[in-house]
Every structure is written in structure tokens, then in C-alpha cells.
Amino acid sequence: MDRSLLRSKFRGSMLGTGVGDALGRPVEGCAPRLVEEPPEFDGRYTDDTEMTIGVAESLVEVGGFDGEHMIKTFMRNYDPKRGYGPGPPAVFRLIELGERWDTASMILFGGRGSFGNGAAMRAAPVGLLYFDEPEELRRVAERSSLLTHAHPLGVEGAVIQAYAVALAVKTNPSSFDPRDFLEELESFSREEVYREALRDAARLLNEKADKKKVISRLGNGVEAFRSVPTAVYCFAANAESFEKAVLYAVSLGGDADTIGAMAGAISGAYHGEDKIPVEWVKRLEKAEYIALLADKLLELKLKEK
């Protein structure tokens, strides 16, 4: 693939995360019936984008994955006003008390670890950097998830989101089949909960299901397995337009910023930067810096070869 197309796709995925997150922020926690009109876009992002920035910064600064460096980067960037869930700040406190980066998150939720979508929501940079190395993608998505989300279903959510971004990078929109896309994700998945949800997503696509049905079957919650397949579906059912995909994602309400961020990451990787409405990118906080991080990830990617 030529370099300028890759650059556009890397930028599209990173900016798409921020745009989808910011679009969903005002309607987070709303019932879907309250999100019939597109929410107002003020460009302010939440923890989803802040942590995605952290993942990208750490991968770029280290030249690959280093767990201790990444958690310290999250801690350096941590702004409590960004709407974090309870997990990451609890892990940060444990690390400050001297807990190891690779065990701190396992202490949460009675020793089971979190299966929230907090690792999946920040997985785009992993999907980009390893887009053509599926084994390495899985390894780094798993390891980077473990920093805060240790439950196998939280981890697998991050793997699937990263792989969806990777597939979207590799896909040429002129020969895209959403069913193949869902099938490939399903066959990559190692957890039956996700395989079942991805098969459900394909059925919903065939049925042209309404929103109510999509939410009841795939979910719009904070659990990774009730939001990652949903975000994947939002992209697959609206692949013709970035704008449509993210507007649809946030219109489902619930964990709208995160589902918007994940659908935006996939859709942005698929379409590239130029297909994201200019007004949104202009207004997005730190858009230039986010695009710069995308460029640095690509530089690192091309240096590897």
C-alpha cells in the first residue's frame, strides 16, 4: 500500500477515535430515544481519547510495547475530569503504592479483573502499528489490556477492536464486504462470547435490523462484550460513510462516547482522514497532536521493515 494512503488511514483512525468520543460525550448514559438528533459537537474528548493518546505515545517513545512505560504514561496524562471509570484510577493508586504493572489490575473486582471496555476503547494504536502482524497485534493488545483490564473478556475485547482497526487499514473500500469483515473477526476471536456476538452482528446486518433490536442483541453497555461487537456492527452496517457510522454509533446511547470512539477508530482507518468531516477535525481538541502521533506510529511501522 502506498505511503500516503497509509498515512491517511493511520490519521483517520486516531482522529476518528477523538471525533467519535467527542460526539458521544454529551449523550453518554442517555436512553437511545433521547438521541434522535445528532448531538452537538464541541470537540471535547474524554478518557477514551486521552488513553488512546497514551498508548500511542508509549509505543512511539519506546519503539514498541513496554508495560511499565505505558502505565506510567497513562498516569502522567491522567486528568480526572475526563470521565474515567473506577478501574484505571484504582490501578494508578496501586502502582503508586508499589504494585507491579503486570499484576495491579488483577486485584480489581475481587481478583477477577475488569471486563469493562476500557482497554478496547484505547486499542486503535495497537491495531495500526501491527496491522499486518496478527500474532504481534494479539500479543500487544493482550499485554496492554492487562495494565487495567485483566478479565479474559476485557482482554479479548481489546484484541478484537485492535484487529478490526487492522482489517480496516488493509481494506480497500471498493472491494469491501461487511460479511467477510465480520467473519474474519469472528475467526480471529478466541472467546465464544465474542464469536456468538459477531455472528449475531452478521444476522442483524442481513435483517437490516432496527436500533432497538441492535441494542437488545449486541448491547450498548460498558462491558467489553456488550460494546465492542456493537461498535464493529456500527461500522459494518454504515461502511459507506464515516459520518453515518459514528452518528449511528452515538445514537445508540448508553456508553456512547466509547462506542463512538471505537466505531470512529475502525471507520477512520477504513476511509482515511479526508473522509472525516473537516468541521469536526477542526474543532477536535489537540487534533494536530493526535495526527502527529498517527504519523509517528507510521514512521515506526515503516522503520520496522
The contact set with Mg ion (CB under 5 A) reads 46-48, 83, 257
Query: Nearer Cβ to Mg ion, position 47 or 186?
Result: 47
Tell me which DSSP letter residue 40 carries.
P
Query: Nearer Cβ to Mg ion, position 46 or 230?
Result: 46
For the CB of residue 20, give the shortest distance to Mg ion in the complex, in Å.
11
Q: Is 258 left (phi over 0), alpha (psi -120 to 50) or beta?
A: alpha
For the CB of residue 293, give the shortest distance to Mg ion in the complex, in Å.
18
SS3 category, 223: strand
Angstrom distances, CA of residue 279 to CA of 41, 42, 61, 260, 263:
9, 10, 30, 17, 19
- Spatial contact of 151 and 62, defined as CB atoms under 8 Å apart: no
Query: Nearer Cβ to Mg ion, position 186 or 257?
Result: 257
Angstrom distances, CA of residue 33 to CA of 62, 212, 262:
45, 9, 21
For the CB of residue 21, give the shortest distance to Mg ion in the complex, in Å.
6
- Cα–Cα distance between 25 and 256 in angstroms, integer? 7
Residue number with the smallest Cβ distance to Mg ion: 46
Query: Nearer Cβ to Mg ion, position 67 or 83?
Result: 83
- 175 CB burial (10 A radius; 0-12, 13-18, 19+): exposed
Query: Nearer Cβ to Mg ion, position 88 or 178?
Result: 88
Query: Nearer Cβ to Mg ion, position 257 or 273?
Result: 257
- Cα–Cα distance between 186 and 188 in angstroms, integer? 5
Query: Nearer Cβ to Mg ion, position 28 or 186?
Result: 28
For the CB of residue 124, give the shortest distance to Mg ion in the complex, in Å.
14
For the CB of residue 96, give the shortest distance to Mg ion in the complex, in Å.
23
Total residues found in the chain within this entry: 305
Query: Nearer Cβ to Mg ion, position 137 or 256?
Result: 256
- Cα–Cα distance between 245 and 65 in angstroms, integer? 30
For the CB of residue 135, give the shortest distance to Mg ion in the complex, in Å.
30
For the CB of residue 107, give the shortest distance to Mg ion in the complex, in Å.
23
- Spatial contact of 139 and 64, defined as CB atoms under 8 Å apart: no
For the CB of residue 227, give the shortest distance to Mg ion in the complex, in Å.
11
Query: Nearer Cβ to Mg ion, position 263 or 298?
Result: 263
- Spatial contact of 51 and 21, defined as CB atoms under 8 Å apart: no
For the CB of residue 288, give the shortest distance to Mg ion in the complex, in Å.
21
- Spatial contact of 220 and 227, defined as CB atoms under 8 Å apart: yes
Angstrom distances, CA of residue 143 to CA of 42, 139, 147, 213:
34, 6, 7, 34
Q: Torsion angle of alpha carbons 238, 131, 152, 63, nearest 10°?
A: -130
